[in-house]
Amino acid sequence: MTSPQRITVLGSTGSVGRNTLAVIEESSNFTVHALSANSNVDLMAQQCQRFQPEIAVMADAHSASKLAVRLATEGIPTRVLEAADALEQIASAADTDVVMAAIVGAAGLDPTLAAVNSGKRVLLANKESLVMSGALFMEAARRSGAVIVPIDSEHNAVFQCLPQDFDATLPQQVEKIVLTASGGPFLHTPADQFGALTPDQACAHPKWKMGRKISVDSATMMNKGLEIIEASYLFGLNADQIEVLVHPQSIIHSMVYYRDGSVLAQLANPDMRVPIAHGLAYPERMPSGAATLDLSQQPALEFLQPDLDKFPCLRLGFEAVTTGGTMPAVLNAANEEAVAAFLREDIRFDQIPSIIAKVLAKIPCEAATSLAIIQSTDREARSLCKELIIKDFI
Ligand code: NDP
């Protein structure tokens, strides 16, 4: 690398955001232009002290005021902004080359799209933005020249196993991809115990330390459902070219099956700093700080077919990508609301898939031809989901 890359980290106080800053901290190739969070003032103040960004955005207005006072008191010159349009501003700023999109959920849609529309290198962790706006998102990247490097470990693995010009060559060369899944914390828990599982149990992932929303998604396997949709848009694949294989050790992060019988896989210890470092340095390489994989110390690697009856959210993901249009946006919205209700302990773990299925059955699918249609579908699905939770499930 030559001159330092200027980076904006959206969601810097989250699990992916913190790992991103940990990788950057070990390198002189990056300067931090801007950071963002929702309400975690303490951690944002520490990050401003350490990385001296020009701008810090807090989506929550009260937290922005608290941060501004704190930084002024501590003599830190970072400018504090608030609200959603400030997120779009830092994501599209001329002073930024690379945007790490690591806000959780639909709140990441507008800033991630702003980064894409302004032709940045976008390190995409916020899968929900692509799931919601799929074709529009990819079309915006083609128009602006934005380079999208997936940070989800599975998609990053596929990306690493494909040639750089995969857009043009993939249909002739690739038969299918296989996304591996850890199976989450309840892989071996009998389904008849799902009703009694608590949020803390659901968030205790055996292999990955992640934010609470994605941890619950991993426990229901909706995370893999969302990832099927994400892979379909990122790599231009049909649903029947994407398979899921449960691999509890999380060493092989995904595989590409070529038409000549070759299978390319990417392996690494389960540590998000690996895909993050790949995205940061792409197309070069840099140290990530992750431990080197030692296969001689690994227990046997296992591979199992997923159980779609025990984990119906995975089936819902396959159905949504097959239907297309606004269905993935409905799936995403209903899932976010159902997971939030489970984390508040308003509903049981085993009710999550049935609520989402009810919302999917009630909202008609439309062509997802504009952001306005997608956003209004998102609102409709959320409000229906909240109604159903109050009426049928509490
Ligand atoms: P976390 O919950 O740990 O962090 C979320 C970040 O988003 C925090 O900085 C949070 O701020 C901020 N945030 C939350 N709500 C809002 C909002 N309404 N507006 C603006 N900012 C907001 O999530 P993760 O880091 O686990 O996940 C981030 C994304 O990356 C998700 O889309 C997830 O699916 C994806 N991902 C995560 C992986 C992981 O290992 N964690 C792996 C692969 C993908 P605050 O701290 O102030 O609340």
Reading the chain (394 residues) residue by residue, the pLDDT tens digits are: 468 999 999 999 999 999 999 999 999 999 999 999 999 999 999 999 999 999 999 999 999 999 999 999 999 999 999 988 899 999 999 999 999 999 999 999 999 999 999 999 999 999 999 999 999 999 999 999 999 999 999 999 999 999 988 887 787 899 999 999 999 999 999 999 999 999 999 999 998 889 999 999 999 999 999 999 999 999 999 999 999 999 999 999 999 999 999 999 999 999 999 999 999 999 999 999 999 999 999 989 999 999 999 999 999 999 999 999 999 999 999 999 999 999 999 999 999 999 999 999 999 999 999 999 999 999 999 999 999 999 988 7
Domains 5-151 and 158-393 alike in fold:
no
Q: Can you name the CATH fold of 5-151?
A: Rossmann fold (3.40.50)
* C-alpha of residue 102 to centroid of ligand 1, in Å: 5
Contact status, residue 17 vs residue 28, Cβ threshold 8 Å: no
Long-range contacts of 59-68 (CB under 8 A, 24+ apart): 59/83, 59/84, 59/87, 59/107, 63/37, 63/38, 63/39, 66/41, 67/41
| Nearest CA, atom 4, ligand 1 | 14
pLDDT for 364 equals 95
pLDDT for 2 equals 66
The dihedral built from the CA positions of residue 192, 322, 124 and 176, taken in this order, carries a sign that is positive
What residue ranges do the domains of the chain occupy? Answer: 5-151, 158-393
* C-alpha of residue 11 to centroid of ligand 1, in Å: 6
| Nearest CA, atom 13, ligand 1 | 38
In the numeric block, the tokens 């099927």 are attached to: 228
Q: Which atom of ligand 1 is nearest to the CA of 226?
A: 34
* C-alpha of residue 202 to centroid of ligand 1, in Å: 17
Q: Which atom of ligand 1 is nearest to the CA of 213?
A: 2
Q: Is 81 in the pocket of ligand 1 (CB under 6 A)?
A: no
Q: Is 208 in the pocket of ligand 1 (CB under 6 A)?
A: yes
Which residue from 36, 43, 57, 210 has its CB within 8 A of the most atoms of ligand 1, so it is best to mutate? 210
Q: Is 40 in the pocket of ligand 1 (CB under 6 A)?
A: yes
| Nearest CA, atom 40, ligand 1 | 210
| Nearest CA, atom 23, ligand 1 | 211
pTM, whole model, 2 decimals? 0.97
Sheet with 98-101: list strands edge to edge. 79-82, 55-58, 30-37, 5-10, 98-101, 121-124, 147-150
Q: Is 8 in the pocket of ligand 1 (CB under 6 A)?
A: no
Architecture of domain 158-393: Orthogonal Bundle (1.10)
CA distance 310 to 358: 18
* C-alpha of residue 213 to centroid of ligand 1, in Å: 8
Q: Is 336 in the pocket of ligand 1 (CB under 6 A)?
A: no
Q: Is 111 in the pocket of ligand 1 (CB under 6 A)?
A: no
